[in-house]
Amino acid sequence: MLDADFFRRWMTATATSVDREAERLTALDSPIGDADHGSNLQRGFRAVKDALDKEPPTTPGAVLTQAGRLLISTVGGASGPLYGTLLRRTGKALGDAAEVDGRQLAEALRAGVDAVRQLGGAAPGDKTMIDALVPAVDALGDSFAAARDAAEEGAVATTPLRARKGRASYLGERSIGHQDPGATSAALLIAGLVEAGGE
């Protein structure tokens, strides 16, 4: 079973990997975006980590809803409302339970991904974070490691795609050949599950 501390570790692990990969995320965002993805997410997840360290919520759902709210208010770019909605909606779907199992997490995360798709209007293949998240949620029933691998494969597979959402879509054909920064950071988030689970 997964308790509130597991979810706090998940967010902390993500904050650490976003810190570590911030320069790479910003570098990926330079040719096809506005070169702020790494620093924006770094600011957001640092705020999440600080808040959770200071006063950790007592349920899995509350950890994620608080994290989502903070991302919306601190990131300053499109990734704020997108990741914020992902975590908040996932947290709401988990309800008030003190512990949840892997199947409940998978179902809740699917609700979160659906909310992101609704918010941004992106579908699989549009070269966005959805391309990492959808395969990850599909694989989550097997193991966290399977979800991590599926997210990473999904992120790499965005390279030949032409962007159809977000700022990169203005570039048309020129967005082809670059790995999507949002899909890359989404893979970091999913990899955080493996670290939180101690796998």
Partner 1 sequence: MSDGKLVGIVLVSHSAAVAASVAELAQGLAGVGGAVPVAPAGGTEGGGLGTSAELIAAAAASVDRGAGVAVLTDLGSAVLTVKALLAEGDELPERTRLVDAPFVEGAVAAVVTAATGADLAAVEAAAVEAYTYRKV
Binding to partner 1 (CB under 8 A): which residues in 13-52? 36, 40
Binding to partner 1 (CB under 8 A): which residues in 114-143? 115, 119-120
For partner 1, the binding residue among 27, 35, 62, 72 (CB under 8 A) is: 72
For partner 1, the binding residue among 167, 176, 195, 197 (CB under 8 A) is: 167
Secondary structure of residue 123 in the 3-state scheme: coil
Q: Which stretch binds partner 1 (CB under 8 A): 48-56, 69-77, 140-148, 154-162?
A: 69-77
84 near partner 1 (CB under 8 A):
yes
94 in Cβ contact with 84 (< 8 Å) = no
By CB under 8 A, the count of residues binding partner 1 is 20
For partner 1, the binding residue among 88, 110, 127, 178 (CB under 8 A) is: 88
Q: What is the 8-class DSSP label of residue 162? A: P
Considering only CA atoms, which of 114, 59, 50 is closest in space to residue 82? 114
CB-based contacts of 189, cutoff 8 Å, min separation 6? 14, 83, 151
109 in Cβ contact with 144 (< 8 Å) = no
For partner 1, the binding residue among 15, 28, 78, 87 (CB under 8 A) is: 78
Q: What is the 8-class DSSP label of residue 9? A: H
**Residue showing tokens 């990997």:** 17
CB-based contacts of 171, cutoff 8 Å, min separation 6? 32, 163
Give the nearest distance from C-beta 48 to partner 1 in angstroms: 14
Positions that interact with partner 1 (CB under 8 A): 36, 40, 69, 72-73, 76-82, 84-85, 88, 115, 119-120, 166-167
